[in-house]
Amino acid sequence: MKCLRYLLPALFLVALPVLAQDVPVIRVDTRLVNVPVNVTDAHGAGVVGLSQEDFTVKEDGRTQKIAIFEREASTPLSIVMAVDTSGSVLSQFKVERDAAKKFAQELLRPEDEMDLIAFSYEANEMVSYTNDWRRIDDGLKRLAKGEDTALYDAVYVASERLTEAKKDATRRRVLVLITDGGDNSIRKEIGYQKAVAEAQRAGAAIYPIIVVPILADAGRNVAGEHALIQMAEDTGGKYFYVTQKQDLKTAFAHLSDDLRNQYLLSYYAPKRGQDSSFRRISVTLNDTDLAKTLSVRSRAGYYADAR
């Protein structure tokens, strides 16, 4: 026994280098692409109950094998709420704050996280990621009136924060924008295209809540509103108009329902070399009759070099 005790370490010292040399190292380079999908009927109501076999996912026109499918997705959420604090929006923010507080309180689960950003002349983080709605409410109470609306800066900064969210394989990333629309900041380092590209790199779905106090206002920024609508369409999100203060609660309720009624379709991206190209995604229904009556909404694509 004494001899064996001293012999064993020596044997391992000899064997370990041999094992390290003889066993090949296999590296697998795969990328799981998550595609949250909403299906709605002619009235805009969410349609649930569909199965994996009802969908086809294509990347750049080529059908992909669905690796993960979730009906009424319960996967974790990372949400950045970005609030426009310019005078035209903040003037009615008592109602907005209450609606945003209720949204965080009812939506956040232990596995979720929310970040709060305020933007006017520039974008500033008020509350870092948390699943405690009370911290979000504290941040909402500290919002102060600012000048200008650096909307595209806010989208860019919020998207950067979403790239720093938790890295669960099937985590959904959402950007909620509360604004009256339009970027009137004198700083033009970040424009529409750069902001949307950053959101797409982050895999973020943009949900603008567009506050329009006076529908017939001659100074209303219609072009800015159209830009927000296009952002939503490009990223698989949805926009909501708010013309009355009480509509804010309704908008947040619809947003919450939209996230709860999503399907999650995930596939492994085909390997085509390292590049930074934009790869287009399309999701369709296989049943032609269903496709005629239902609408499918999903992200438009992703960048191959996304983080």
88-92, 216-220, 231-235: segment of lowest average pLDDT: 216-220
Kindly tell me if the per-residue pLDDT of 27 is higher than 60: no
Indicate whether 154 and 292 sit together in one domain.
no
180 belongs to a structural domain: yes
CA angle 152, 155, 161 (to 5 degrees): 145
Q: How many CB atoms lie within 10 A of CB 59?
A: 19
User: What's the domain count of the chain?
Assistant: 2
Rounded distance between C-alpha atoms, residue 185 and residue 151, angstroms? 8
Are 302 and 279 in contact by the 8 Å Cβ rule? The answer is yes
Report residue 183: phi and psi, to 5°: -105, 110
pLDDT at 89: 67
pLDDT at 45: 92
Indicate whether 108 and 193 sit together in one domain.
yes
22-26, 143-147, 227-231, 240-244: segment of lowest average pLDDT: 22-26
- Amino acid identity, position 210: I
Q: What is the mean pLDDT of residues 205-229?
A: 77
- Amino acid identity, position 183: D
Indicate whether 179 and 43 sit together in one domain.
no
Indicate whether 252 and 179 sit together in one domain.
yes
Indicate whether 242 and 281 sit together in one domain.
no
Rounded distance between C-alpha atoms, residue 250 and residue 246, angstroms? 7
Q: Are strands 172-179 and 204-211 parallel, antiparallel or unpaired?
A: parallel
Distances (CA, A) of 210 to 152, 238, 303: 15, 11, 27
11 belongs to a structural domain: no
Kindly tell me if the per-residue pLDDT of 235 is higher than 60: yes
Residue ranges with strand state E in 228-268 = 240-242, 263-268
pLDDT at 1: 45
Indicate whether 156 and 207 sit together in one domain.
yes
Q: What is the mean pLDDT of residues 69-89?
A: 88
Q: What is the mean pLDDT of residues 140-152?
A: 86
Percentage of the chain surpassing pLDDT 70? 83
Q: What is the mean pLDDT of the chain?
A: 85
**Stated pTM of the model:** 0.85
Are 81 and 158 in contact by the 8 Å Cβ rule? The answer is no
Q: Are strands 204-211 and 240-242 parallel, antiparallel or unpaired?
A: parallel
pLDDT at 40: 96
Element (H, E) at 289: helix 288-293
pLDDT at 9: 41
pLDDT at 13: 41
Rounded distance between C-alpha atoms, residue 195 and residue 298, angstroms? 19
Rounded distance between C-alpha atoms, residue 65 and residue 267, angstroms? 6
Are 307 and 204 in contact by the 8 Å Cβ rule? The answer is no
CATH number for position 143: 3.40.50.410
Q: What is the mean pLDDT of residues 59-84?
A: 94
Please provide the DSSP assignment of 22-34 as one string: HSPP------EEE
151 belongs to a structural domain: yes
Indicate whether 127 and 256 sit together in one domain.
yes
In terms of residue numbers, what domain contains 268?
Answer: 34-71+262-301
Highest mean pLDDT among 74-88, 165-179, 180-194: 165-179
Residue with tokens 């010292």: 13
208 belongs to a structural domain: yes
pLDDT at 3: 44
pLDDT at 250: 92
Indicate whether 186 and 297 sit together in one domain.
no
pLDDT at 244: 80
Indicate whether 202 and 155 sit together in one domain.
yes
233 belongs to a structural domain: yes
19 belongs to a structural domain: no
Indicate whether 273 and 176 sit together in one domain.
no
122 belongs to a structural domain: yes
Rounded distance between C-alpha atoms, residue 26 and residue 130, angstroms? 37
pLDDT at 78: 98
Binned at pLDDT 50, 70 and 90, residue 28 comes out as very low
User: Which residues contact residue 257 at a Cβ distance below 8 angstroms, ignoring those fewer than 6 apart?
Assistant: 46
Indicate whether 278 and 149 sit together in one domain.
no
Q: What is the mean pLDDT of residues 48-58?
A: 96
Indicate whether 253 and 281 sit together in one domain.
no
5 belongs to a structural domain: no
Q: Given CA atoms 99, 100, 103, 106 in this order, what sign does their dihedral have?
A: negative
Are 238 and 207 in contact by the 8 Å Cβ rule? The answer is yes
pLDDT at 263: 96
pLDDT at 186: 62
